[in-house]
Amino acid sequence: MQAAEKAPAIAVKPEAVLLRVENAFKYFPVSGLGGLAVRAVDGVDLEIRRGETLGLVGESGCGKSTLARLITALLPVTAGKITFDGQDITKLRGRRLRRIRQKMQMIFQDPYASLDPRMTVGDILQEPLDNFGIGSVGHRRRRVQELLRLVGLNPNFTNRYPHEFSGGQRQRIGIARALALNPSFIVCDEAVSALDVSIQAQIINLLQDLQKEFQLTYLFIAHDLAVVRHLSDRIAVMYLGKVVETADRNDIYERPQHPYTKALLSSIPVPDPKVERERAPITLKGEIPSPVNPPSGCRFHTRCPIARAPGVCSEQEPALEAHGAADQVAACHFAGQA
């Protein structure tokens, strides 16, 4: 199913890794296509270290949101192993799964869709505490006010409904809800994408403050690579169900090893007219192939500017191996040669 995996370049102490994804697959069967499936996540290896922010980037349909749902045990894996704090969460059921879920929370893109319009903000924030039976009723009420204050909202807003808040305030409520159970790990899935720039900056700063205060580990998923670079310690790039490159945030931007990473980075306009006049984006030909039937060999070869196809690139799938900087891995036969 996939090329042999190699050891990462830097041996990170096992206790430093909070979450490890090993050869994870998620296939969604397509009815009426005779056993065909959308290969949303197609053999992913990834580690998230304690206290870091790992940025996950890639274009629509590359599988990043599905991967987030596997990691938070909201979807079962088709195959593979995901360990959180040393426990394989793909095997957990019932109460033990609930206990793990308490430690991992999610913040979603659309603060309009992810809050129940018929619940007051107080109820929304108290619900997780009720579900897990945390503290006395009085304690829960105090905790709700504390959470509101923590995300910069007026603690007396508990009786208001989501529609009474602006988009940025609603995203703060989403963040407060994620914090309610004292998680150690939060997945932010396009958490700032729907917000206006000045509000986006407020939320980004808030996420950074909260991380420092509570030693949180973030998986930050976004398509805005500038925001990802600003927030992340390390960055993983996905293409068509696979991680194609992972590295330190500055290494990946300064010395991308995979031609897809390079193209992705060169596509982003910079808010500086002088830079823009000189910038020559690498334009990729064509579009992302169907995840039902990904290309043979390296799945990027159909759009790759340096691919040797027919040849090694169309025949052999490259493994994620050390290239470039110390903590950098890339899955490309000609890594760094673009």
Residues that bind other proteins (CB under 8 A): 59-60, 132, 134-135, 139, 142-143, 145-146, 149-152, 166, 168, 181-182, 196-202, 204-206, 208-209, 213-214, 223, 225-227, 229-230, 249-250, 253, 263-276, 279, 281, 283-284, 287
Sign of CA dihedral 248, 108, 184, 146: positive
Write the DSSP assignment of 192-232 as a string of letters.
Answer: TTTS-HHHHHHHHHHHHHHHHHHT-EEEEE-S-HHHHHHH-
The nearer residue to other proteins, 21 or 194, going by C-beta atoms, is 194
Smallest gap from residue 141 Cβ to other proteins (A): 12
Q: Please state, in angstroms and rounded to a whole number, the distance separating the CA atoms of residues 248 and 44.
A: 18
Smallest gap from residue 72 Cβ to other proteins (A): 19
Smallest gap from residue 13 Cβ to other proteins (A): 25
The nearer residue to other proteins, 6 or 279, going by C-beta atoms, is 279
Residue of 331, 158, 161, 309 lying closest to 261 (CA atoms) = 331
Smallest gap from residue 102 Cβ to other proteins (A): 8
CA distance readout (Å), 257 to 53, 159, 325, 336, 337: 21, 52, 9, 4, 8
Q: What tokens appear for 242 in the block?
A: 């696979």
The nearer residue to other proteins, 64 or 333, going by C-beta atoms, is 64
The nearer residue to other proteins, 29 or 269, going by C-beta atoms, is 269
159, 165, 167, 172: CA torsion to nearest 10: -40
Smallest gap from residue 185 Cβ to other proteins (A): 15
The nearer residue to other proteins, 25 or 218, going by C-beta atoms, is 218
| Total length of the chain | 338
The letter for the amino acid at 26 is K
- With tokens 């018929």, the residue in question is 118
- With tokens 């036969």, the residue in question is 333
Smallest gap from residue 20 Cβ to other proteins (A): 25
The nearer residue to other proteins, 168 or 297, going by C-beta atoms, is 168
Sign of CA dihedral 31, 303, 268, 48: positive
Smallest gap from residue 143 Cβ to other proteins (A): 7
The nearer residue to other proteins, 6 or 139, going by C-beta atoms, is 139
Q: Please state, in angstroms and rounded to a whole number, the distance separating the CA atoms of residues 88 and 97.
A: 10
